Structure 1
Amino acid sequence: MTSRFPTPEEFASFPPPNYVDPVNQLPLAMAVLIPMTVLIIGFISCRFYCRTVLVDTLGWDDWAMLVAAVMSVGSNIMLIISMLPEYQMGYHLWDIHPSRLFGTMKSAQMGLSSQLLFTAITTFMKVAILLTYMRIFPSKLDKWFCRLMIFYTVSFNTACFFITLFQCSPVSTYWEIFKYIKTAKCLNIKAIYYFHSAQNTFSDFIIFLWPARNLLNVQVSLRQRVTLTSMFSLGVIVCIAGVVRLYYTHLYLVSFDVFWYGATTSIIMGVESGVGVVCGCLPGCKPLMNKLFPRVFSNTSQSSSRRRPSTNFLSGKLSSSSAGSSEQGSYRMQPLHPRPDNRCSRTLEKRSQPDVGKQLPVPPQPSHQGLRPPSRTTFTSRRQAEAYRELQGNGSDSSIEIFLLQRN
């Protein structure tokens, strides 16, 4: 529980104890851990809804993340309970009655349980994230990286789990440390905690920053690149929380006020594990985000189809279809009427002018047998030409080039 006992000089410097209404960290723990618990439940539910209803691709990474989420919720609830007045985690040492200090400390039992749970949470969380990477990034280098980091994470965290559990002999010495402070047989607690915190923070940086190399090379639109970068950049919060936790772990190890600094460290552990679960669930929640926020998370071809037509209507359709989906097929442009040069236009204007002085013969009456309604192709071409003129706003100028999209 602690690496040292207060000296007589430190005992003399204690302020007067407050056993009635002491300062504690329960309000801070509730303000941080309750919203974090709600986020964990919301995002893991969203992930399983997308994987079972919208996509139907449930995998091992989903089950590993579910185990991490359940343990994270349980750890947060236990941390809040340990800070109640009955257990007094998060209190200053001088505000705890000596009868509690030199007895069996329930808060110390919960503290050890939270440390073991944190080790298990980070293991399942990182394994789930690495399995998700193997889904998203199928290259050989990514797969080898994920396999190596899974082996590293499982092996080191398993070793840290059992070293933390059996750091004292017998194990009950951990929550009765003040009773056996002079006769306790424990390992080097400082080395254990420093090693565990440092290797966990190191693996956080490697795992959460690994997708950056793929996001820089992926061929997507700017909006999709920003969305994906923002989604994966939330893992930086986990790395920052790991660095802060390492600092408060140092304060916890060098100070005799272990209940106060131990509570702060536990709150940061809850934030680190909770944000890690949320970040791991974000890629699985993207199908639901596409439905709820299509302008933000959908691809560019879907969003461009909702725009109003402009003067580059046909050329825009051509570019989107050539880049695009297999449902629309391929298209080609053909001019309906070739543009005549200046000499031909002047000749046509002269021929189109009627000769006023010349008597034109009366045309014969057409036979009804030779009449037939215009074909469907001609009617469709006229409708397309009229629609294009309406988009262009140029009246009925016959010299305009009309481009039609014809399916190959």
Structure 2
Amino acid sequence: MYFRPGFVVVVLGAILTPISTIIVALRYYCRFFLMGSVSASDHLMFVALVVTWGNFVVNYYQDETSSKFKPSYFRMPEKQPEIAETVRGTLISWWVYRVSYIVALCFVKLSILFFYRAIASHRTFRRLVNATIVFVCIYSFGACMAAIFQCANPSEAWSTANYFAQFDRNPDTKSQGQRCYDPIALWVFSAAANLLSDVIILMLPIPTLLSLRIPMSKRLALIGIFSVGIMAIIASSVRMWVMMLWAESPTNSARFGADLLLWGQVETNSGIISASIPFLRLLFRSRKKEERGVTQRKIENGPPKPMRVDAFSQCKELDMGEWPLGDEDKKSGPGSPSWGPFITVPESLSCSRGSTLLEPVHQPHVTV
């Protein structure tokens, strides 16, 4: 069974974008309801999600318009007037996508970097994060401006006459009034800068995590959580390879355009998902706390065993063996934390009624 490449892009976007939406919604739930604070990092990720939905809509429109003609029609002068309007719609959608794709990735990276900035305690780490923020903003802004003003007159970017002229083998019929630069160098530079920033963002927190004074197993677990972003790096690398194929010729541009869009969807959504997954640990932590609270309530509500009173001495200290605090305390070792409740009573109340120790004598409290 054959599936149109553009249709595959739409299906993949229809799967990944809702998953990203669910992950970001859970992130907001954890941050607002479980932590009680929402930061700029969360809002930046929400903007990236909105722009990603815009990319999905643009991809759908690209598939709808490109499915109405074949790439072989570009070299047939008799077919060009029939597909001119449809090709113009495709060119406009590509012009919009080039800008929205850069904006979406920019907000994903800024969300991660602002989170780093919020947890940065070392001055060097904070300076590196700020420098990376400036780098991402500068190259993203430059790439957006270059994409918008690819031609001196932006409307020339979706001119069908100029586009069909690329496939005309007769040099006398080439378009003479076009004032557009070749965007291949821009897209290759943008892809390389994007991949470089992904690697920098992945490596930034690792020295700080390794220097934490916690057990090595927990350090490695934190590094593993922060390294989930390697999925975005893999997608970015594959997309850059596809872009090199796409940029070889106008024919390859029409052939590998769907692959470029597909890996763009994977890259953007994997960045959103991998950057939001670490916040979802709060869901499991809150569940463990609820289970622990239920266990403690059962222990506290249980009836205590009656105390055995020695007939020869009515003033006997409380013994922990007389108060069953649960199986956890019996199994815990000397180094493990004890979750049982502490019982604090005055020493004067440890005797029976009628004892002479009930007189108002100030005694220290004993913690049993």
Name the CA distance, whole Å, in 2 between partners of 1:195 and 1:73: 25
Change (3 A) 1:391 1:148: closer
8 A Cα contact 1:204 1:238, kept in partner? yes
Aligned to 1:279: 274
Cα offset for 1:237?
Answer: 1.3
Match among 20, 34, 37 for residue 57 of structure 1: 37
- % same residue: 19
Unaligned 5+ residue runs, structure 1?
1-20, 307-370, 393-405
Aligned to 1:200: 194
Aligned to 2:146: 163
Counterpart amino acid of residue 374 in structure 1: Q
Aligned to 1:400: none
* 2:107 matches 1:124: yes
- TM-score under structure 2 normalisation? 0.72
Q: Aligned-residue CA RMSD in angstroms? A: 3.5
Aligned to 1:178: 163
Aligned to 1:380: 319
- TM-score under structure 1 normalisation? 0.65
Which structure has the larger Rg? 1
* 2:241 matches 1:247: yes
SS class of match (2:314): coil
Cα offset for 1:150?
Answer: 0.8
* 2:31 matches 1:48: no
Cα offset for 1:44?
Answer: 1.0
Aligned to 1:337: none
Unaligned 5+ residue runs, structure 2?
167-173, 297-310, 332-365
Name the CA distance, whole Å, in 2 between partners of 1:224 and 1:101: 60
Name the CA distance, whole Å, in 1 between partners of 2:68 and 2:245: 14
Counterpart amino acid of residue 80 in structure 1: Y
SS class of match (2:113): helix
Name the CA distance, whole Å, in 1 between partners of 2:70 and 2:2: 8
Of structures 1 and 2, the one scoring higher in RCO (CA 8 A, sep 6+) is 1
Name the CA distance, whole Å, in 1 between partners of 2:226 and 2:321: 52
8 A Cα contact 2:13 2:265, kept in partner? yes
Alignment of 1:8-407 (within 5 A): 24-84=4-64, 87-88=65-66, 93-94=71-72, 98-99=80-81, 101-103=83-85, 104-176=87-159, 177-179=162-164, 181=166, 182=174, 183=176, 184-221=178-215, 224-255=218-249, 256-292=251-287, 294=288, 374-375=314-315, 377-380=316-319, 383=322, 407=367
Cα offset for 1:235?
Answer: 1.0
8 A Cα contact 2:10 2:56, kept in partner? no
Cα offset for 1:152?
Answer: 0.8
Counterpart amino acid of residue 163 in structure 2: F
8 A Cα contact 2:7 2:63, kept in partner? no
Higher relative helix content: 2
8 A Cα contact 1:90 1:264, kept in partner? no
8 A Cα contact 1:245 1:268, kept in partner? yes
SS class of match (1:236): helix
State the number of aligned residues.
Answer: 301
